[in-house]
Structure 1
């Protein structure tokens, strides 16, 4: 009982002498107390400064946890909450999610496989290249020397048309060939985008750990991975160029099979 009574009395005393009386005096005699109070507070700040500094240092020393660090998962969770609340639209949430996952996606997941890539042999003439219907479907075409693993560069469709206009249709496509850089199939798409920007390139040859050609990847492929949707410009006849490449490859296989199955004519 005495402990309860003492606690109540102390609480009332602290409230009365440290809250009510000082505030009442300050509100009533604020003009008279302003100047002496400012000097008193200034001295108190100087006196307790070493203690405050020491306390701050000790706090930083013993609290090296990462509780205040915002993780990627927390950002994604906040974006989802923002979408539910209507603060951001679903498309913005999708872009943010794709952006934060770019480093987890390898180049091999977005490339166009070598087996379906339209490539031209170096001995092809400019006119022969333009006569090929598939050449008109792609802006950049890899060029190989003796076999498809020996890629020596790329030709740009616009350069082929310009060379034909200048009367060079009978020349080899090597005359208008451009370099084609290589990247690893393990390269994250995030770094792939940086590489495209640094090298000012639009197409890379993708190789595995043994240097074997696995296919090609374009700047458009990387951006589509970021946006989560297909990109079409005014020169694109189809929406998904990778799907078109696979379709062309299947058509070639069907033609080859039909030719092999055709009965030989009797002489």
Structure 2
């Protein structure tokens, strides 16, 4: 009877330990391990090594678990046969299966998945011992798996981070603005300049020979602060900031005050533009289409609005959405032209 209890307890006990370790190991997140780098560097290094070659500790856990189940079931069956006869082997097998399912699978895996942070410091020493003791089995396992080969899977980190952000919103760890910002930042490389630029129909440009005095009369009260300097062929020569005109002589021209400006294609993505703007500290780009026609401007404000998912409006803005305003002006112009043609 003692041997029967010993086989059952040892089988369930070792299996319980394996299930807890497996659940805790698989629950470790890269972000948690990264946090440990400064707080607990030794634990960080140990867990990083385990996660870097996770197949090895998992193989050790599964090997010990299989041995525990097999030896335990065999020992229990043999002892039941000796003590009670072969008639009760089926009953003992059913009871052992139920105990293993509940006590060494469901309960311990729930514990490991729930309390993995507290169990994390125990993983390296316990798994190291298991790996050393079971080294021959692991060698054989790796020999077989290496022969079969491992499939390569591309990890979509962007997709996973966006999914985590949405989960954070559902669990109220993030608010809607934070989630939208995270997702929009990760989508910048998929968004074209054309979709977020300010169309030329609502842009103001200046000629290179326009004087400061003339500029002040025309644009002194406008809401815009940066003005592209365009020649007669609509080629961007630079841009003028309204602040540059405040202390300039009225006779000075825009050409004398202008700063260099970059040009780009409307098919370029917003991520590239954002990176280049931060690098050269120039907050404006002039946008051209594939035919070399000037189609609009993109500013740092346009990029920030794309990231935030909402328009940035201050007390001087009379129009909240310039792209929508541009479309309205375009539709009005078409109606006006059609009306003029019908009256002829």
Q: TM-score range by the shorter chain?
A: 0.5 to 0.7
Q: Relative to 1, partners in 2 of residues 1:72 and 1:12: Cα closer, same or farther, differing over 3 Å?
A: same
Task: Provide structure 1 residue ranges, at least 5 long, that are not aligned to the other structure.
Answer: 16-41, 261-267
What per-residue deviation string (whole Å, max 9, x for no partner) do you get for residues 203-240 of structure 1? 00112233322211001101110101122457x43463
Q: TM-score, normalised by structure 2?
A: 0.53
What per-residue deviation string (whole Å, max 9, x for no partner) do you get for residues 138-175 of structure 1? 1110011224x222111110001121xxxx10121111
Query: What is the Cα deviation at residue 11 of structure 1?
Result: 9.0
Aligned to 1:63: 150
Q: Relative to 1, partners in 2 of residues 1:129 and 1:78: Cα closer, same or farther, differing over 3 Å?
A: same
Query: What is the Cα deviation at residue 49 of structure 1?
Result: 2.5
Aligned to 2:270: 189
Superposition map of 1:156-171 within 5 A: 156-163=241-248, 168-171=249-252
- Asked if 1:152 corresponds to 2:241, the answer is no
* 1:137 equivalent among 203, 218, 223: 223
Give distance in 1, aligned partners of 2:152 and 2:214. Answer: 66
Aligned to 1:39: none
Q: Relative to 1, partners in 2 of residues 1:50 and 1:239: Cα closer, same or farther, differing over 3 Å?
A: farther
Give distance in 2, aligned partners of 1:241 and 1:173. Answer: 28
Instruction: Indicate the SS of the match to 1:194.
Output: helix
Q: Relative to 1, partners in 2 of residues 1:152 and 1:62: Cα closer, same or farther, differing over 3 Å?
A: same
Instruction: Indicate the SS of the match to 2:222.
Output: helix
Aligned to 2:190: 104
Give distance in 2, aligned partners of 1:227 and 1:221. Answer: 10
Q: Relative to 1, partners in 2 of residues 1:247 and 1:122: Cα closer, same or farther, differing over 3 Å?
A: farther
Aligned to 2:292: 211
Instruction: Indicate the SS of the match to 1:146.
Output: coil
User: Which piece of structure 1 moves more, 55-64 or 84-93?
Assistant: 55-64
Aligned to 2:179: 93
User: Which piece of structure 1 moves more, 154-163 or 49-58?
Assistant: 49-58
- Asked if 1:121 corresponds to 2:207, the answer is yes
Instruction: Indicate the SS of the match to 1:141.
Output: strand
Instruction: Indicate the SS of the match to 1:83.
Output: helix
Give distance in 2, aligned partners of 1:85 and 1:118. Answer: 46
Query: What is the Cα deviation at residue 86 of structure 1?
Result: 1.7
**Contact 2:319/2:325, CA 8 A, preserved across alignment:** no
Give distance in 2, aligned partners of 1:82 and 1:214. Answer: 39
Q: Relative to 1, partners in 2 of residues 1:10 and 1:226: Cα closer, same or farther, differing over 3 Å?
A: closer
* 1:227 equivalent among 300, 308, 315: 308
Q: Relative to 1, partners in 2 of residues 1:43 and 1:118: Cα closer, same or farther, differing over 3 Å?
A: closer
**Contact 2:311/2:321, CA 8 A, preserved across alignment:** no
Q: TM-score, normalised by structure 1?
A: 0.67
Higher helix share: 2
Instruction: Indicate the SS of the match to 2:232.
Output: coil
Give distance in 2, aligned partners of 1:136 and 1:177. Answer: 18
Q: Relative to 1, partners in 2 of residues 1:46 and 1:217: Cα closer, same or farther, differing over 3 Å?
A: closer
Task: Provide structure 2 residue ranges, at least 5 long, that are not aligned to the other structure.
Answer: 1-84, 100-127
Query: What is the Cα deviation at residue 74 of structure 1?
Result: 4.6
Give distance in 2, aligned partners of 1:120 and 1:43. Answer: 76
**Contact 1:117/1:245, CA 8 A, preserved across alignment:** no
Q: What is the count of residue pairs matched by the alignment?
A: 222
